[in-house]
Amino acid sequence: MEDANAITQIFLPLSLAFMMFAVGLELTLADFKRVAAQPKGFLIGAINQMLLLPLVAFGLLSFWHIEPVLAVGVMIIAACPGGVTSNFMTYLAHGDTALSVSMTAIISLLSVISLPLIVSFSILHFMETSTAPELPIGQTVLGIFAITTMPVIIGMITNSYFPTFTQNFDRQARTVSALLFIVIIGGAIYAERQNIVSFFNQAGPVALSLNLVMMALALSLSKVRGLTAQQQTAITLECGLQNGTLAIFVAATLIGSREMMIPGAIYSLLMFPTATAYLLFVIKRRRRQA
């Protein structure tokens, strides 16, 4: 029990903070000025990420009957911003990496408010009052701010004042972030290994459906609104690759529910094959056009 508490109260928050610090290392004030000067791409991405994604998840769960605690877990991952992996995948796909990183950072800042509200509503809607865990909004806001917002700001300051260090450390930071992500997802699945098959049978199909529907919506809306191919790629991957580590942190550390973290872990496993398939499609399309 002490080991479990050490993981959820120390290792998990510190790992997430490091990942968000790695995002901040790739940001400058010029990225925010670019978003302000050309907000169309960001606004379309933000609508997909912050509005359509939770609505689609809620719509799927309205007729997809799974255990209430797992339904809340699905809503938690839907309320999270994109993760560090979306930036890397966008880079590999030759998409608009600056837009991807800006979306990850800015939506992470905004999720300090939106995520607790969505999760609180989901707990009240899907769970009975007698079994619903308490989610203190103020404490949750402070917790997410400390673990996501502050590390991004520190990363930006480091990038601004120590550019040489940032240039040398950035690649290592990505590698460490990827390893931490794998350890956290694996740990979440191992913690519920006795129930993982049952949970996967329930939450797996809805998680995969959410991922596929959102990537299709993000791509379609980006095309309809006349964004460039690079922007379309960034937004599609940003809306498909969620911050599973943040979802697990909210479920396991802030709420204290190991069951609620399972949908976030399952989604994190399923999102890579679909994102990889889209990545190969983009590369093949670019070669064909060239």
What does the block give as tokens for 86?
A: 């979306």
CA distances for 271 relative to 25, 118, 286, angstroms: 25, 22, 22
Could you report how far apart the first and last alpha carbons of the chain are, in Å? 57
pLDDT in tens, 201-229: 888 999 999 999 999 999 999 999 999 99
CA distances for 111 relative to 82, 147, 226, angstroms: 11, 12, 27
Rounded average pLDDT over 169-190: 82
pLDDT in tens, 266-290: 998 899 889 989 999 998 888 887 6
pLDDT in tens, 4-23: 555 566 777 888 888 888 88
pLDDT in tens, 29-76: 887 777 777 789 999 999 999 999 999 999 999 988 899 999 999 999
What does the block give as tokens for 191?
A: 């913690």
Q: Write down the pLDDT at residue 8.
A: 60
pLDDT at 2 over 50: no
CB 69 within 8 A of CB 201: no
Separation between Cα atoms, residue 246 and residue 252, nearest integer Å: 10
How do the domains of the chain map onto residue ranges? 2-289
Check whether domain 2-289 has CATH 1.10.620.20, yes or no: no
CB 96 within 8 A of CB 233: yes
Separation between Cα atoms, residue 239 and residue 210, nearest integer Å: 10
Rounded average pLDDT over 249-253: 87
Reported as a pLDDT band with limits 50, 70 and 90, residue 117 is very high
Q: Write down the pLDDT at residue 219.
A: 95
Separation between Cα atoms, residue 227 and residue 265, nearest integer Å: 32
pLDDT at 1 over 50: no
Residue with token string 């509503």: 121
